[in-house]
A = this chain, B = another copy of it.
Amino acid sequence: MKLTIRKDELNDAIQQVSKASSSRPAIPILGGIKFDVTHQGVTLTASDTDISIQSFIPVENGEFVIAKIEKPGSVVLPSKFFVEIVKKLPSAEIEIEVKENHQTSIRSGSTDIQMVGLDPEEFPVLPTIEETEILSVPCDLLRSMIRQTIFAASTSEQTPILTGALWSLEDGLLKFVATDRHRLASRTAAVGSPPEYRFSNVVISSKTLNELSKLVPDESKLIDIIVADNQVLFKIDNVLFYSRILDGTYPDTSKIIPQQFKTELVLHTKTLTDAIDRAYLMSREEKTNIVKLITLEDGTIEISSSSTELGRVTEQMEVKEQNGEQLRIAFNSKYMLDTLKVIDSEYMYIGFNGAMSPIIIKPTDHAHSLHIILPYRTTG
C-alpha cells in the first residue's frame, strides 16, 4: 500500500471514524483505524463492536485531486496517536507507505514517522445489511428527536435495555421513547414512509445515539436509516454509521400514560424553567432534589425547596390556565429541569392526578412530545 493524500481531507475522515475506536480496547486491533486503499479512494473504518463508523475519501472531488494512489492495500494503525498526529503534521500532503509486517512510514515535510501497523485481516468485519427498505429523515429532525428523548434513558447497567431509546415506525410515524422508570420522554414525527414499512422494539444505546448526533449536521439534508435484524445502519454523505440493536424487549410504556386529569395547568415555559432552576440550586444541597409545587387560592402557583443548612427558596408564578382541583405535589427538580429544557413551545401543559400519580408534561404548540415524571411521596 502506498499513497499521497491531502492532510485536511484525511484529518476530517479520521475525526469522523475515530469516535468508534475504543479508547481502552480489549484487544489492540479494536483501538485501531483500518485503511483500505483502492484506485477509487481510501476507506477508513473504526469499530468497538457496538458502533462501527466508515468514511470514504475519493481520489478526487471534481475540483481537485485528494489522493494519489501508487499501490492499493490495507493496514490498521493505532487510532489514539494517529488522530492527534495527523492534524499536527507540517505539510498539506502526507505520504503513507506500508512495508513488510505492516510496518508503516508516514512522511510529511521534514517529519518521518515509522509506525507499528496491525494486520487488517484481524479487524472486525462489518455486518452485511441488505438495503431493502430505507427510511430517509432530515438530519436536524433526527438530532432533535435524539436530544429530546435520550436524557431520560437509564444510566444504570442493572437494566441494560433501559440504557437505550426505543424506536418504532408505524403508519409513517417514527417514535422515540426513553425511560429510567422515574421519568419518560417520547417524541414522534411523521416521516412520510409507506404504511407497509414498519418496525418495532428497535432499542439503540443512548451513548451510541449521542455519538451519532455529533456526526450528523444540524441541517435539513436527509440521512438514510436502514434497520436490519440486530443492526441499524445510518448513511450520510460518504459516512456509514453502524449501531448494534440492544438485546431484550423494551417494556410497554403505553399503559402508564393517563388520559384524564384532576388538575391541569398551562404555564409559560421559560418562566417555569427559571423558577425550577433556582429551586433546584437549593434542593440539590439535600441530594434528593425535592421541589414542591402548590396551587394557591389566588390562582397562582408556588414552587419551593429547602435545605436544612442553607434555607429556603420560594417562587410565585402566574398561571395562564388552570382547571380542576387544587394541588400539592413534590417531584425531582433535576428531572423537571431536564424535561423543561427540551420543551420547544412558548407555553406548556402539565396534567396531574393527585400527589401520588404521574405528572404529564406536553408542549401546547404541537402533539409531538410527551413527558412523564413520577412524583415523590413526601409527608406534609
Contact = CB atoms under 8 A, between A and B. Distances in A.
Given A81-B282, A84-B281, A110 B316 contact: yes
Interface in A69-107: 78, 81, 84-85, 88-90, 104
A317 interface: yes
A111 interface: yes
B115 A310 contact: yes
Given A110-B317, A316-B110, A317-B110, A281 B88 contact: yes
Interface string A292-320: 00000000000000000111111111000
A274 B90 contact: yes
A113 B317 contact: no
A278 interface: yes
Nearest to A28: B309
A266 B67 CA distance: 37
A170 interface: no
Given A310-B116, A312-B114, A81 B285 contact: yes
* Residue of A81, A115, A285 with most chain B CB atoms under a 10 A cut-off: A81
A109 to B, nearest CB: 9
Interface residues of A, number: 31
Contacts of A316: 110, 112
B278 A310 contact: no
B111 A314 contact: yes
B88 A315 contact: no
Contacts of A274: 88, 90
Contacts of A313: 85, 111-113
A277 interface: yes
A270 to B, nearest CB: 11
Nearest to A103: B311
B88 A277 contact: yes
A278 B86 CA distance: 9
A55 to B, nearest CB: 22
Interface of A: 78, 81, 84-85, 88-90, 104, 110-116, 274-275, 277-278, 281-282, 285, 309-317
The 8 A-B pairs with the shortest beta carbon distances in the complex, nearest first, are A115-B311, A112-B314, A110-B316, A114-B311, A114-B312, A116-B311, A113-B313, A84-B281
Given A81-B282, A85-B313, A112-B314, 11 more contacts: A81-B281, A81-B285, A88-B274, A104-B311, A111-B275, A111-B313, A111-B314, A112-B313, A113-B313, A113-B314, A116-B311
6 contacts: A81-B281, A81-B282, A112-B313, A114-B311, A115-B310, A116-B311
